[in-house]
Amino acid sequence: MASASKPLITLILALICADSLVAQAPAPLRLSFADAVRQATGAAQVPPPSVSIAGFRVDAAAARVRQARSGLLPSLSLSGSWANRSFNSKAQGISFPGVPTVIGPFNAYDGRVRLNQTLFDFANLGRVSAAKNQASAVGAERSAAVEASAQNVALAYVRASRAQAVVTARAADSVLATELVGLAVAQQQAGVSAAIDVTRAKTQLAEAVGRLIIAENQLDRARIDLARALGIDPATPISLTDTLNAQMGLADVPADRSAAVAQAVALRPDLAAEVARGAAARTSAAAISAERLPRLDLEADYGLSGVRMPDAVGTRQVAIQVTLPILDGFRREGRLAEQQAVLRESDVRQHDLRQQVTADVDGALLDLRSAAAQQVVATDRLQLAAEEVSQARQRFKAGVVGNIEVITAQESLLRARDADIDARFAAVTARIALARSVGSARTLH
């Protein structure tokens, strides 16, 4: 009987020692919860892809502002030309005696400096303002991407911590099952219990080993998911230095509900982005309306021209041009109607987002209170289950009952351990959700 359980016991010892073997692997990445969040926000040399992409969009939006502003700045160009030509004098209206019909061919040289400057253009000013608002919206969207990245990495770390806690619990279950097999064998050899007790104990041991294998696999998968959330090589060995506890997931969040809602309205980047998009639509509409106003431009050029380079003489031109748009086929009115529709849509989105902000805060606070209550119950349940196992074991050892009581108590302890892990996991995820709901996910530690 004892020899039959040796392969299971050997497998259990190998699984329990797996973490120590992984720890001997070269250069594991030791990662705390706070370090993971900092890397997620772009504090690392290589930020996650979502943060990098959002940063590139900010750069593109800043470039669009410079493009819009270029319409208000002077433009300077140089040009030079050479032409060999002839022309029909009569076609030009020249029909004087002695003037030949075909003049030329002759060379013409021209080199010129041209300057253009917009003096007065309200529409271009509006386009610059709209581009700035759009850049502000993209900047807020980057902040939202940072917040989302911090939340995603925090949740991935917590899930890995939970998986690690489950592995520890399943290892403890396996150790207990191994001890109970030894006790059942000893009781049978002493003639106190029947062979069925040994069979039951070995069945429980096999189930414990199976659960441990599954838990180890889930931990490995959770580490891969964490590496992907961080944007690093999934093959990178990661050693988690923090466990599920009452300190994990804390952030700069007010304790009062009203203060939390006020902070959320002030800091939520998705709301700020929508406000900026609405302002961009409003200024774009104003810029389109301003296109009906006169535009004033200055043009000037100076250069040398002649039929031979040595004979070239200087010529210049200075002009002021006033342009007053009258009708463009109602294209302007269509663009204005489009921007006004975008503005109305943005107003609806802002109203809905403000309500969603309040709902997110209230939901997170409810989850946090529920998780706290679950933790109290789970702690008591775990303590009672451990006592039940101890008492059932003593009764079995005394020969009062068979090990069916011990197995029942063992299953109860397993469920109590899972409930304790789930309660701690729920508390941490609720704190992360609360931090995200008020726009403070990047301050998680």
Distance CA 158, CA 243 (A): 8
pLDDT reading at 18 higher than 70: no
Enumerate the domain spans of the chain.
Answer: 3-74+121-292+329-443
Percentages of the chain per state (helix, strand, coil), in multiples of 5: 65, 15, 20
Asked if 434 and 361 touch (Cβ cutoff 8 Å), the reply is yes
Triad 66, 68, 74: Cα angle to 5°? 80
Quick one: pLDDT at residue 1?
43
Quick one: pLDDT at residue 21?
47
Distance CA 403, CA 179 (A): 12
**Of residues 31 and 194, which shows the higher confidence score?**
31
Nearest to 335 by CA among 293, 295, 284, 278: 284
pLDDT reading at 219 higher than 90: yes
Quick one: pLDDT at residue 194?
85
Distance CA 174, CA 26 (A): 29
Quick one: pLDDT at residue 230?
92
Q: Look at domain 3-74+121-292+329-443 and name its CATH class.
A: mainly alpha
Q: Which long-range contacts (CB under 8 A, 24 or more apart) does 23-31 make?
A: 23/239, 25/237, 27/237, 28/237, 28/238, 28/239, 29/232, 29/236, 29/237, 29/238, 29/239, 30/239, 30/241, 31/157, 31/226, 31/238, 31/239, 31/240, 31/241
Distance CA 169, CA 382 (A): 12
In the numeric block, the tokens 């990661």 are attached to 238
Q: What is the pLDDT of residues 350-385, one digit of tens each?
A: 999 999 999 999 999 999 999 999 999 999 999 999
Asked if 366 and 437 touch (Cβ cutoff 8 Å), the reply is no
Quick one: pLDDT at residue 87?
85
The reply to whether omega before 105 is within 30° of 0 (cis) is yes
Q: How many angstroms from the chain centroid is the CA of residue 185?
A: 56
Distance CA 147, CA 269 (A): 8
Asked if 427 and 214 touch (Cβ cutoff 8 Å), the reply is no
| pLDDT tier for residue 192 given thresholds of 50, 70 and 90 | confident
| pLDDT tier for residue 22 given thresholds of 50, 70 and 90 | very low
Q: Number of C-alpha atoms within 13 angstroms, CB side, residue 308?
A: 2
What mean pLDDT, rounded, does the chain reach?
90
Quick one: pLDDT at residue 401?
80
Identity (one letter) of the amino acid at 425?
A: F
The SS3 of residue 300 is strand
pLDDT reading at 199 higher than 70: yes
Strand order in the sheet with 313-323: 75-88, 102-120, 295-306, 313-323
Asked if 41 and 51 touch (Cβ cutoff 8 Å), the reply is yes
The SS3 of residue 354 is helix
Backbone angles phi, psi at 29, to 5 degrees: -85, 105
pLDDT reading at 10 higher than 70: no
Phi-psi map region of 405: left, alpha, beta (phi>0 left; psi -120 to 50 alpha): alpha
| pLDDT tier for residue 311 given thresholds of 50, 70 and 90 | confident
Tell me the percentage of the chain whose pLDDT exceeds 90. Answer: 74
pLDDT reading at 261 higher than 90: yes
Q: What is the mean pLDDT of residues 141-153?
A: 95
Distance CA 183, CA 397 (A): 7
Quick one: pLDDT at residue 310?
84
Q: What is the mean pLDDT of residues 31-47?
A: 87
DSSP string, 358-403: HHHHHHHHHHHHHHHHHHHHHHHHHHHHHHHHHHHHHHHHTTSS-T
Distance CA 346, CA 326 (A): 31
Neighbour count for residue 246 (Cβ, 10 Å):
12
Quick one: pLDDT at residue 190?
86
pLDDT reading at 9 higher than 70: no
The pair of structure tokens assigned to 433 is: 């959700």
Q: What is the mean pLDDT of residues 245-269?
A: 93
Distance CA 357, CA 437 (A): 7
| pLDDT tier for residue 317 given thresholds of 50, 70 and 90 | very high
Nearest to 147 by CA among 445, 429, 428, 439: 439
pTM of the entire structure? 0.84
| pLDDT tier for residue 5 given thresholds of 50, 70 and 90 | low
Distance CA 414, CA 133 (A): 57
| pLDDT tier for residue 14 given thresholds of 50, 70 and 90 | low
| pLDDT tier for residue 404 given thresholds of 50, 70 and 90 | confident
Beta bridge partners of 299: 116, 319
Q: What is the mean pLDDT of residues 87-108?
A: 85
Distance CA 130, CA 122 (A): 12
Quick one: pLDDT at residue 435?
96
